[in-house]
């Protein structure tokens, strides 16, 4: 049984070269994340081309995911590193001046009032607004820590108004559409409109890339169902989410988000600090292995490495640890996930069920958009999933979907048997398969058939189309 859960790895200074990309692909990376909080369009284009070229040389099907910055609030105008002790007073204003510092989105100061909390540096320094006068806030530190220019700022107060897409994000989305990015992760999504705005920019520029909504704000949790109705997947972004919702709430929220995504057959990525110790150590902690395993038990489609592969000292080893953990953990999963299918999922559910009862090598899904493959993956069958598509871009995106072990790109044809023949020419001609297809080739959502491709059926197809 091949690996079911996928691995997303962030490219960065430690890995952005031919040797490392090759090693990461061979180790098991399925999706490469390009973090647009850093770098230029020129540098990201080089990385994108490097991934594509290397994948072609190694015969690997991988996806490239753009992660746009979103309105990340950061400290601005703090000239020196500042040690903060509990009880200290900090002064924040719209304009920095000497000891008075500001933030990258100073208009937020208007929305804060006395008693509101402001967190800095991933929540390590917590403060409360003690006084407000005009454009200036006096904050009292309630924890100790260190502050410096560029450190992140989180405001747990609900109702803070910020657009999910900055002008930089909009330019980055247009760039992604131009070069052919497969998947886009949108940061700090709060409402379904944030996803729709990003989709319109992509669509207007000729891209149908999947959108992954990063859930990292409390307001997003309130709108989660509506967001799930318009997105192609979600990321459980546990860093900022932990700061805003409280770290003790994150495990439960993770389970809830994954469950809801699973029910809708949407890919979900679990991210942040999965192997942080491997930034500087060749071995993980037992707690980290348990964290990865629990994400698998929760139902995640993919797990993500950030700093571990971007700037860590052991990027390849981190991927290898992920692979070993995922492979061992999936042995303890049930043979099929007991989820009641909705009215559109009957054929996908049937394929998953039959594959557990009938000897076959894999479930083969002929798909135009990847939707049927996602539906089959929803039921978590033990047998491998093969995606057969007419669109190479769709094939790339399948790298994120649970259980998809191989992708085949064939020519579009009105004949079902001729398409199966094309698939068999690239696959094991002697094996038996469970096949799902649609009566209208190339039409999204037309899957209406499940069949067993056994020895008799294969012989008839090869006799008809010249095979032996």
> Which H helix or E strand runs over 33?
strand 31-35
Instruction: Give exposure, 11-42, as e/b (b: 16+ Cβ within 10 Å).
Output: bbebbbeeebbbbbbebbbbbbbbbbeebeee
Catalytic residue (choose from 3, 4, 6, 33): 33
Q: Please state, in angstroms and as integers, the Cα–Cα distance from residue 441 to each residue in 56, 222, 351, 364, 385, following that order.
A: 27, 39, 19, 15, 20
**Residues in CB range of 107: below 8 A, 6 or more apart:** 94
Rounded distance between C-alpha atoms, residue 30 and residue 7, angstroms: 5
Q: Is residue 15 among the annotated active site residues?
A: no
Residues 6+ apart with CB under 8 A from 415: none
CA-nearest of 145, 263, 157 to 218 is: 157
70: left (phi over 0), alpha (psi -120 to 50) or beta: left
Active site residue 272: yes
Annotated active-site residue in 3, 151, 199, 214: 214
Asked if residue 164 lies in contact with residue 86, where contact means CB atoms within 8 angstroms, the answer is no
Measure Cα distances from 185 to 69, 246, 312 in Å: 9, 23, 22
> What is the C-alpha to C-alpha distance for residues 438 and 366, in angstroms, rounded to an integer?
8
Q: Choosing from 231, 272, 276, 389, which is the catalytic residue?
A: 272
Could you give the CA distance from residue 462 to residue 65 in angstroms, rounded to a whole number?
39
SS3 200: helix
CA atoms 149, 152, 157, 158: torsion sign: positive
Q: Exposure of 219 by Cβ count < 10 A (0-12 exposed, 13-18 middle, 19+ buried)?
A: middle
| 199 is a catalytic site residue | no
Residues 395, 405: contact at Cβ < 8 Å?
no
Catalytic-residue membership of 148: no
Report the catalytic residues.
33, 74, 214, 272
């Amino acid at each position: 049984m091949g690996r079911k859960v996928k691995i997303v790895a962030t490219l960065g200074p430690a890995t952005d070269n031919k040797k490392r990309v090759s090693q990461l692909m061979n180790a098991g990376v399925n999706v490469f994340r390009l973090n647009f909080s850093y770098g230029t369009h020129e540098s990201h284009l080089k990385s994108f081309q490097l991934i594509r070229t290397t994948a072609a040389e190694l015969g690997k099907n991988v996806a490239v995911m753009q992660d746009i910055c979103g309105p990340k609030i950061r400290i601005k105008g703090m000239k020196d590193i500042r040690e903060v002790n509990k009880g200290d007073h900090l002064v924040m204003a719209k304009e920095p001046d000497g000891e008075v510092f500001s933030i990258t989105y100073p208009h937020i100061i208007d929305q804060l009032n006395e008693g509101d909390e402001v967190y800095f540096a991933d929540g390590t320094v917590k403060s409360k607004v003690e006084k407000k006068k005009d454009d200036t806030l006096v904050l009292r530190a309630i924890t100790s820590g260190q502050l410096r220019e560029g450190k992140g700022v989180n405001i747990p107060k609900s109702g803070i108004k910020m657009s999910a897409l900055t002008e930089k994000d909009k330019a980055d989305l247009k760039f992604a559409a131009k070069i052919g990015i497969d998947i886009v992760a949108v940061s700090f999504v709060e409402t379904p409109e944030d996803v729709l705005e990003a989709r319109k920019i992509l669509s207007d520029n000729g891209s149908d890339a999947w959108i992954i909504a990063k859930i990292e704000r409390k307001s997003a949790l309130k709108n989660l169902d509506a967001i799930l109705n318009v997105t192609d997947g979600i990321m459980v972004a546990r860093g900022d989410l932990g700061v805003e919702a409280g770290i003790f709430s994150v495990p439960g929220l993770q389970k809830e988000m994954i469950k809801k995504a699973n029910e809708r057959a949407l890919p979900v990525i679990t991210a942040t600090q999965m192997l942080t110790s491997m930034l500087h150590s060749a071995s993980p902690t037992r707690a980290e292995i348990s964290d990865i395993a629990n994400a698998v038990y929760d139902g995640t489609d993919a797990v993500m490495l950030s700093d571990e592969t971007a700037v860590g000292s052991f990027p390849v080893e981190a991927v290898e640890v992920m692979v070993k953990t995922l492979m061992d953990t999936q042995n303890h999963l049930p043979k099929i996930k007991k989820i009641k299918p909705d009215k559109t999922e009957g054929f996908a559910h049937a394929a998953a069920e039959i594959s557990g009862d009938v000897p076959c090598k894999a479930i083969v899904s002929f798909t135009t958009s990847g939707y049927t493959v996602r539906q089959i993956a929803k039921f978590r069958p033990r047998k491998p999933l093969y995606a057969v598509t007419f669109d190479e871009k769709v094939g790339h995106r399948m790298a994120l979907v649970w259980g998809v072990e191989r992708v085949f790109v064939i020519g579009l044809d009105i004949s079902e048997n001729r398409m199966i023949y094309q698939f068999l020419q690239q696959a094991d001609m002697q094996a038996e398969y469970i096949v799902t297809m649609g009566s209208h080739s190339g039409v999204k959502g037309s899957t209406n058939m499940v069949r067993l491709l056994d020895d008799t059926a294969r012989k008839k197809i090869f006799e008809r189309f010249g095979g032996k």
